[in-house]
């Protein structure tokens, strides 16, 4: 951050708080600078210690996991990554979702696909892996996406990763999940509508506008390379939220090239490493947002990854308004995370 931008950040902090609007969705967030914490204060919390005993993913055959749908092996023939159906799926395999009526209410049968993507080392999460190993994970994401996207029961595929019990990881062994479902989530609909609205008003791709501005100003950037950038969003919903966005306009994650995939792996690994070091291994979630696979065209959208560390708990204001409160400015958060990499 330059001296001038740091001074502006300090001046803004004097107002006590800021209401910032998400440029895509129109959602509001509160940056409560009047209640601001120092970056290192966010690491002062008690995490639930991970339990590595009785790890069902260390040897999936012995723990009676479902049969692999994908497995990558190393030169010594041991596996490095494997994908198998979730033993306790949220969505059951079926060809077509069937309508369920209940008076004025509408519902569908919960058909789809629910899979688990597991890396070999039970104690090294993605931010501590080599870049090529993270690229291998992205390979698996893409391969399974392509295998499921044209199934009759699938209109959207959500890929996500939970780290820590507080973030929903019931098993400590690092793993991601994929859910292929018949409906498109309201949040994705909101992003799609916002991107379309911005294009109609400005004749520009809103994600391109964002990434170019962040790359130019640098004040919220964590790390970037020729193909990809990681930054703390201007309207961050949570402290130390990070987005990883490709620089080439592309609505569809499944269409990234091998070169782009390695570049994304580098930026994602750096961002996760910075969060790990800067916040002392906090619980977090990350997920891929991509255009639906419903056969429609979404030219003004951009696939991206959102990383949300767990640094606070929603209370009455957040639950009643849907407006989230963050107690650190994204500019300050980015500066702290950059320092972890350098």
At 4 the pLDDT is: 56
- What b-and-e string marks burial along 74-94, b requiring 16 or more CB atoms within 10 Å of the CB? eeeeeebbbbbbbeebebeeb
| CA-based radius of gyration for the chain | 20
Q: Judge contact between 188 and 292, C-beta under 8 A.
A: yes
Q: Determine the Cα–Cα distance for residues 5 and 3; give it in Å rounded to an integer.
A: 6
Identify whether residues 259 and 128 lie together within a single domain. Answer: no
Write out the chain's pLDDT in tens, 342 residues. Answer: 455 554 554 555 455 789 999 999 999 999 987 776 788 888 776 788 888 888 999 999 899 999 999 999 998 989 999 999 999 999 988 778 889 989 999 999 999 999 999 999 999 999 999 999 999 999 999 999 999 999 998 999 999 999 999 999 999 999 999 999 999 999 999 999 999 999 999 999 999 999 999 999 999 999 999 999 999 999 999 999 999 999 999 999 999 999 999 999 999 999 999 999 999 999 999 999 999 999 999 999 999 999 999 988 878 888 888 788 888 999 999 999 999 998
Q: Are 223 and 230 in contact (CB under 8 A)?
A: yes
Task: Indicate whether 78 and 144 sit together in one domain.
Answer: yes
Q: Classify residue 55: in a domain, yes or no.
A: no
The set of residues, in sequence order, having a beta carbon less than 8 Å from that of 238 and lying 6+ positions away, is 308, 309, 310, 311, 312, 324, 326
Can you tell me the distance from the alpha carbon of 239 to that of 112, in angstroms, rounded to the nearest whole number?
Answer: 34
- 197 & 324 share domain: yes
Tell whether 57 is covered by a domain.
no
Range of the domain at 156: 70-181
Q: Which two tokens stand for residue 297?
A: 């065209």
Number of domains in the chain: 2
- For residue 149, what is the DSSP state? T
Three-class SS state of 306: strand
Please say which residue of 153, 181, 209 terminates a domain: 181
Last residue in a domain, options 181, 205, 230: 181
Same structural domain for residues 156 and 124? Answer: yes
DSSP state string for 219-266: TTEEEE-SSEEEE--TT-SSTT-EEEEESS--S-GGG--HHHHHHHHH
Q: How many residues can be counted in the chain?
A: 342
* Domain harbouring 141, CATH code: 3.30.428.10
Residue 56 lies in a domain: no
Cβ count near 38 (within 10 Å): 10
Residue whose structure tokens are 């991970």: 50
Q: Is residue 60 part of a domain?
A: no
Residue 208 and residue 171 in one domain = no
The pTM of this model reads 0.93
Count the Cβ atoms, other than its own, within 10 Å of residue 193: 14
- Number of H-type helices and E-type strands within the chain: 7, 15
Q: Report the alpha-carbon distance of residue 325 to residue 75 in Å, rounded.
A: 49
Q: For residues 313 and 232, state if they share a domain.
A: yes
Residue 178 CA, chain-centre distance (Å), reads: 12
């Amino acid at each position: 951050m330059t001296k001038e931008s740091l001074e502006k950040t300090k001046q803004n902090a004097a107002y006590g708080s800021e209401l910032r609007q998400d440029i895509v969705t129109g959602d509001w967030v509160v940056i409560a600078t009047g209640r601001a914490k120092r970056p290192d204060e966010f690491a002062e919390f008690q995490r639930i210690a991970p339990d590595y005993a009785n790890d069902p993913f260390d040897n999936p055959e012995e723990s009676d996991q479902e049969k692999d749908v994908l497995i990558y092996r190393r030169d010594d023939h041991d596996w490095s990554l494997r994908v198998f159906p979730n033993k306790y799926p949220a969505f059951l395999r079926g060809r077509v979702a069937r309508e369920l009526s209940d008076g004025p209410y509408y519902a569908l049968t919960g058909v789809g696909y629910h899979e688990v993507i597991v890396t070999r080392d039970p104690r090294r999460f993605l931010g501590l892996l080599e870049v090529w190993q993270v690229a291998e994970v992205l390979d698996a994401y893409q391969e399974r996406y392509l295998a499921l996207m044209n199934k009759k029961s699938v209109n959207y595929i959500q890929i996500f990763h939970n780290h820590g019990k507080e973030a929903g990881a019931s098993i400590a062994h690092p793993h991601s999940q994929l859910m292929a479902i018949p409906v498109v989530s309201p949040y994705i609909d909101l992003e799609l509508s916002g991107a379309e609205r911005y294009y109609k008003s400005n004749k520009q791709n809103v994600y391109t506008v964002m990434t170019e501005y962040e790359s130019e100003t640098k004040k919220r950037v964590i790390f970037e390379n020729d193909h990809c950038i990681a930054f703390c969003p201007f309207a961050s919903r949570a402290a130390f939220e990070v987005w990883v966005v490709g620089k080439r306009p592309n609505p569809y994650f499944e269409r990234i090239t091998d070169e782009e995939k390695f570049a994304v792996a580098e930026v994602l690994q750096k961002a996760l490493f910075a969060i790990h070091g800067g916040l002392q291994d906090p619980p977090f979630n990350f997920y891929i947002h991509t255009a639906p696979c419903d056969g429609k065209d979404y030219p003004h959208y951009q696939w991206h990854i959102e990383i949300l560390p767990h640094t606070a708990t929603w209370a009455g204001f957040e639950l009643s308004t849907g407006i989230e409160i963050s107690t650190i400015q994204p500019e300050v958060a980015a500066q702290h995370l950059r320092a972890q990499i350098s």
